[in-house]
Amino acid sequence: QVTVRRYRLSHCYIVMARVSILVVLLVEFCSDFATAQTAHLQDDPVANFDNVQLWQCTEGYRQQWEMMHNGYPNNNIALKSDGKVLDILGYSNDTGANLQVFSKTGTPWNQQFMYNDTSMTIVSLMNGKCAEAANSGNISGTNIQMAPCSGAGNQKFVYNNTDMTLRYSFNQTLCLDAGTAVNCTIAPLNTYPYCDYTLDADTRVRDLVPRMTLEEKVQNMQHRNPGIPRLGVPIFRFAECLHGVRSGCGNASNGSTGCPTSFPSALGLGATFNTSLWLEAGRTVSTEARALNNQGVTGQAFWAPDVNLFRDPRWGRGQEVPGEDPYLTSEYVAHYSSG
């Protein structure tokens, strides 16, 4: 049985499916879906959070890398085109953490890498792990993830000084690539019902789920999910907004700092007993979340509000909820979510 739920965030709708007891992210689509998908095929700029993967070598701007080994904090592997660097998603030390590209920001250890010419490996200086092709994949769209260095062939990349590509040792027609996307505008995906955004969500979900492997379903249940590159399903990013968007700052403009508003904690907001305030706080959060997401700063879905009751101070997380009263909590949740 497949049930479909929609969560509203500004004007963008997120479609999620529940298969048995598993919750699997399937499709994201916005009002400008067709335009956005078509634009991605053109020479659009590399964006923060673009996934690092194997892709057929084109020697294009998404595949040309510079080795910047100048000592901390400048040990980076960077795109020649715009300086974005390899970055471990979510600052994770986990085996299987995905690689993405992101603007060089301060001195984060998750952006510190060295290329070893002898072993032909890309090594994280944060945790000593190596970049590898997931599941020893040998096709375009294979994710690049982090794993303990083993010397295996799926961890070897040959750096070509002439064209500045990092070529996969198993198949040197495949290169390390930042964000070239399989998407619903190209064959054969454009013939699949799940890519037809004019169809209802239930039809699209029922078409997509059987195409997913068990591994892909499990991987996309988690907070740091990889998406499904071979099917054109993007990474789906979660964030938090209990009392404002929990993220860094976006671009400053028109007198704004570009930083999200931080409201009092949920317990403080609950103590106002002011339903119109809760509504306006929710509206502000959703607007700022959309703006920050458009700039690649934060995710598409947010953990909030917390619907638990503050039953016992020993719980230790009472500040995350509006109070102990069921009626107060229900009113708070309804107004904050509506905003």
Supply the pLDDT for residue 38: 36
List, as one string, the DSSP characters of 48-73.
Answer: TTPBEEEEE----TTS-EEEEESSTT
pTM of the model: 0.55
Q: Profile the chain (339 residues) by mean pLDDT over runs of 10 residues.
A: 33 34 37 36 68 88 92 90 91 89 85 95 96 85 91 95 94 91 79 93 94 88 78 82 90 85 96 97 95 82 92 92 96 95
Cis peptide before 188 (omega within 30 of 0): yes
The pLDDT assigned to 17 comes to 36
> For residue 39, what is the enclosing H or E element?
helix 33-41
Q: Taking a C-beta distance cutoff of 8 angstroms, is the pair 195, 206 a contact?
A: no
- String of DSSP letters for 307-325: ------GGGS-GGGSS-S-
**What letter represents residue 278's amino acid?**
W
Length of the chain (residues) = 339
CA atoms within 13 A on the CB side of 270: 27
User: What does the pLDDT read at residue 189?
Assistant: 87
Q: Which two tokens stand for residue 225?
A: 């999910």
Q: Provide the pLDDT for residue 44.
A: 64
Cα separation, 44 vs 240, in Å, equals: 29
What pLDDT does residue 28 have? 42
pLDDT of residue 180: 81
Q: Encoding tokens for residue 69?
A: 């080994």
Residues in Cβ contact with 128 at an 8 Å cutoff, skipping those fewer than 6 apart: 149
